[in-house]
Amino acid sequence: MALLELQNVHTYYGKIHALKGISVHIEKGEIVTLIGSNGAGKSTTLRTISGLLTPRHGQVMLNDKRIDHVPPHEIVKMGVAQSPEGRRIFPRLTVLENLELGAYLHDTRSEAYHADLERVLTLFPRLRERVAQKGGTLSGGEQQMLAIGRALMTRPSVLLLDEPSMGLAPVLVEQIFEIIQEINSQGMTVLLVEQNALQALSIANRGYVLQSGAIVLEDDAKALIENEMVQKAYLGLE
């Protein structure tokens, strides 16, 4: 039984047919990556899983329960967290308030909450130094860390990451990928959307290639790195 599964999902923006029947499954403990060029439908897939978009056909299953018509705040409660594209930090709230909002569904006086917070601040020491700073004044990299940390604060069983390396300096990209691996090694299931295909595939167990709203390839990450078409189109290798 897959932890999270999309079955023949069609999602539309009005008349625009953005997802044309995609099927994806993610097993517990995996890192699965979704690669594809701009406009392929990667973010749309994550928004559909999180309930921000409702598919017109097909289903989304979490632990064998249908969630495709469940509102987003309920889906969070069921254990799916997303660090959205463009980070979407609450700019006029402090770093700590952003993290507290991640824990909105939990009691912020509980031991468990403090343990979560401590863990996030240990993963991202730069955030600890900036807890009182307004989210909008963080650098891009720091905002990315905050977005991931905030998603972790919801205490998810699946973490959806939408282009966590976007706009980051190479050192920081390296660091973010290491952190994703670390989070995964602690038991978190991760669905990783990336432009940075090589790095994503190098930490993932499996991968899907999305093109114009359809899955064109699906394989183990190692096999995808070796795949000629992937090398040409996404890894910039000839």
Ligand X SMILES: Nc1ncnc2c1ncn2[C@@H]1O[C@H](COP(=O)(O)OP(=O)(O)OP(=O)(O)O)[C@@H](O)[C@H]1O
What 3-state class would DSSP assign to 167? Answer: coil
Q: Which two tokens stand for residue 210?
A: 């999305």
Which of the ranges 28-36, 58-66, 146-154, 200-208 carries the binding residues for other proteins, by CB under 8 A? 146-154
Q: Which residues contact 231 (CB under 8 A, 6 or more apart)?
A: 225, 237, 238
Give the C-alpha separation, 230 to 237, whole Å. Answer: 9
C-alpha 126/C-alpha 48 separation (Å) is 32
Task: Provide the minimum distance between the beta carbon of 136 and ligand X in the complex, in angstroms, as a whole number.
Answer: 22
Confirm or reject binding of residue 126 to other proteins (CB under 8 A): no
Q: Which two tokens stand for residue 139?
A: 């650098």
CB of 162 to Mg ion, least distance (A): 6
Residue 39 binding result from Mg ion, ligand X, other proteins, none, given CB thresholds of 5 to 8 Å by partner type:
ligand X
List the interface residues with other proteins, window 62-101 (CB under 8 A): 71-73, 76-77, 81-82, 84, 88, 90-93, 96-97, 100-101
> CA-to-CA distance for 53 and 194, rounded, in angstroms?
20
Residues lying near other proteins in the complex (CB under 8 A) are found at 50-52, 71-73, 76-77, 81-82, 84, 88, 90-93, 96-97, 100-102, 104-105, 108-119, 121, 128, 131, 150-152, 154-155, 186
